[in-house]
Structure 1
Amino acid sequence: MKTVALLIFNEVVPSSITGVVDLLAGANKYMERAGQPIAFCLEMVSQSLDTLHLAFPNQQIDHKTFQHAGHPDLIIVPSFSVGNMEPVIVQNMAAINWLKEMHTTGSEIASLCVGSYFLAEAGLLDGKEVTSHWAAADDIQKRYPRIKMKSDLVITDQDGIYTSGGAFSSLKLVLYLIEKFCGRETALWISKMYAIDMDRTSQAHFAVFMGQHRHDDKEILKAQEYIEQNYKNEIAMEDVSSLINMGQRNFIRRFKAATNNTPFEYLQRVRIESAKKAIEMNRKDLPLIMEDTGYNDLKAFRTIFKRITGLSPMEYKKKYARS
């Protein structure tokens, strides 16, 4: 039986706790019905017992402080609201230091959604492929340059460190852990009972590209604005660099540093985001949408669309278009 500690803190998103409790309790129930020992002993752990009080009817879950938590086999770090991350990190440095200490003593650690900030701040993600909520991916990569952000992934698993995609997709990591520790049959039963798709290929189709404007390079901001206003037309990047009086090599270098994309990659993401919105509205056929977003080659459009979203344009239409 594995001892699983759920990290509790005041800013936590309650659903990222209750969802974990439900799934792990469900796995235990399945194991009992199958005549096997339960798999998980769940406890809540926080800096003090005054931290956010949660009650779970019909379940006895101990609440311990860091000092009395012992050495859990697995620690799960829930999510908090995407937004200004700095205050959350500062207020929870005791928890982050505890995670670092527990990892050195052998505990495995998993983050749900933006709980990945805690692991990154503890240095546990250095050199590793990481996923998180797509809306926080660029900020995490800039804040922690030693990590390898893969925001399209739903889960990562490296050396006992796990990260997950955003919001409710993070429950797929819990399902993955159930499969890893209890077997596929148990995970399939939980998947069916809680109606969670076991597919873990990509969360890219959930992402909304809003442009990376959170930087102070005014010339690059002008270039971004130009691209966003003229993406339907043919755009030569040497013309954009000339527009802001910058040599092309320096322009590409500064654009990449500011936005984490090359100018051409940025143009493609702007175009594909426009195509996604048009597909969702379902007012035009795909060839017209392709032309409206600056493409004239259907094969190239399909290839770029799938590379960015993880779905073909037709698959995206079936999934998200208005009927």
Structure 2
Amino acid sequence: MQRITLLAPPACLVTSISLPLEILNAANELARTRNRKHPRLQIDIVSQDVGPVVTAGGLSVVASATPNMIEQTDLVIIPSLWRSPVKNLIRHRWIMPWLQRLAKQQSLICAVGTSSYFLAEAGLLDHQPATTHWHYCDQFAERYPKVDLKRQYLITQANTIYCVGSVNSIADLMVHFIQRHYGQTIARQVEAQFSPEIRRPFANHAYVEEASKPHQDETIIEAQEWLQRHLRQPINLAALAKQLQLSPRTFNRRFKQAVGITAGDYLQRQRLDNARELLRTSNFSVQEVAYASGYLDSSYFCGRFKKAMGQTPLAYRKSVRGKLFKVI
């Protein structure tokens, strides 16, 4: 993911493009500190005309390209626009053909807030899950009955098209993209910089079309549920396989085929997610967090946590609580 395109029509909410851009740039610079040959992001700001564009807050951004000048891009971010989405559709009809062309090329397309109207108007969300700004959900559902509106989700994914209901949630989606393209360590470092105390993991509040269709291996579902219930205890995966009347080799093969990762990696993820939550919300010591997450050796836990998150458990706790204040 090297070429990023930011759409900037007049009256857009500039934070819905500036925030994801800053997050992506931070990840790219971290990648370049590890490898100076790693290419810089190529960034295009697109509007109907080249030149200054006045945003909803009165700030100006400079469009460097028009849609006809962008033949290919890896990711396009469409910002939320101020006021009536329907009036904006009429005012900016030039956007829809461009989005249709990008969708055919399988570019990642991310619509923030009311900009999901452009995707729906272009027919790109027919029979697909989508979300929009909460204030316009009823209007959206009435105007686009073919769209599977997910009111309770702030992020939806259907193939390469993402809809985000709020500016805050665009940060969650960008961290998800960073983890996919730059790795978990850089994602955690970026997360620590950009308000980790209010962030929720992508998987916790996103509707993903593929994820909504769970695998059908009932034995492996039983294994997943058992691992979740017993993650605080010492676990012998070979014994679990025997309990399920499978050989260890067959168990490992079926688990990876169904879930996409090994049972051991799945267990580690569950334990580390539990540890992160305890570090955020409890006053447990690091040793207590380790024990409550299934790690009998706190030094081993700290090593696993740092490898996965890019920082120690104490540093993580300080970063997520860094904006709390004391009453004097």
Instruction: Provide the TM-score with structure 2 as the length reference.
Output: 0.55
SS of 1:43's equivalent in the other structure is strand
What's the counterpart of residue 125 of structure 2?
A: 125
One-letter amino acid matched to 1:104: K
Tell me, yes or no, if structure 1 residue 31 matches structure 2 residue 1: no
| Counterpart Cα distance in 2 of 1:195 and 1:138 | 31
| Counterpart Cα distance in 2 of 1:122 and 1:51 | 26
| Counterpart Cα distance in 2 of 1:68 and 1:50 | 14
Q: Is 1:27–1:39's contact at 8 Å kept on the other side of the alignment?
A: no
Taking a change above 3 Å as real, the CA distance of residues 39 and 50 of structure 1, as seen in their structure-2 partners, is closer
SS of 1:140's equivalent in the other structure is helix
SS of 1:64's equivalent in the other structure is coil
SS of 1:52's equivalent in the other structure is strand
| Counterpart Cα distance in 2 of 1:53 and 1:178 | 29
Matches within 5 A, 1:160-309: 160-196=160-196, 197-200=199-202, 201-202=204-205
SS of 2:31's equivalent in the other structure is helix
SS of 2:98's equivalent in the other structure is helix
One-letter amino acid matched to 1:79: S
| Counterpart Cα distance in 1 of 2:142 and 2:180 | 32
| Counterpart Cα distance in 1 of 2:108 and 2:205 | 24
Structure 2: 5+ residue stretches without partners: 56-61, 207-328
What's the counterpart of residue 109 of structure 2?
A: 109
Instruction: Provide the TM-score with structure 1 as the length reference.
Output: 0.56
Deviations 1:191-218 (A, max 9, x none): 1011141434349xxxxxxxxxxxxxxx
SS of 2:65's equivalent in the other structure is strand
| Counterpart Cα distance in 1 of 2:181 and 2:136 | 29
What's the counterpart of residue 66 of structure 1?
A: 67
| Counterpart Cα distance in 2 of 1:169 and 1:50 | 29
Q: Is 1:39–1:182's contact at 8 Å kept on the other side of the alignment?
A: no
What's the counterpart of residue 89 of structure 1?
A: 89
What's the counterpart of residue 140 of structure 1?
A: 140
| Counterpart Cα distance in 2 of 1:115 and 1:62 | 18
Q: Is 2:11–2:54's contact at 8 Å kept on the other side of the alignment?
A: no
Deviations 1:202-249 (A, max 9, x none): 49xxxxxxxxxxxxxxxxxxxxxxxxxxxxxxxxxxxxxxxxxxxxxx
Identical positions, percent: 26
| Counterpart Cα distance in 1 of 2:32 and 2:2 | 15
Measure how far apart 1:124 and its partner are: 0.9
Measure how far apart 1:66 and its partner are: 1.1
Measure how far apart 1:102 and its partner are: 1.8
Taking a change above 3 Å as real, the CA distance of residues 38 and 156 of structure 1, as seen in their structure-2 partners, is farther
Deviates more, 1:174-183 or 1:140-149: 174-183
What's the counterpart of residue 281 of structure 1?
A: none
One-letter amino acid matched to 1:11: A
Measure how far apart 1:39 and its partner are: 6.5
One-letter amino acid matched to 2:201: D
Measure how far apart 1:62 and its partner are: 7.3
Structure 1: 5+ residue stretches without partners: 55-60, 204-323
| Counterpart Cα distance in 2 of 1:38 and 1:157 | 28
Deviations 1:69-128 (A, max 9, x none): 1211221111112x4222101111101211112212332211112221111111111111
Q: Is 1:5–1:43's contact at 8 Å kept on the other side of the alignment?
A: yes
Q: Is 1:99–1:119's contact at 8 Å kept on the other side of the alignment?
A: yes
SS of 1:89's equivalent in the other structure is helix
Measure how far apart 1:184 and its partner are: 2.0
Measure how far apart 1:177 and its partner are: 1.8
Deviations 1:127-162 (A, max 9, x none): 111122222222211111111111221322221111
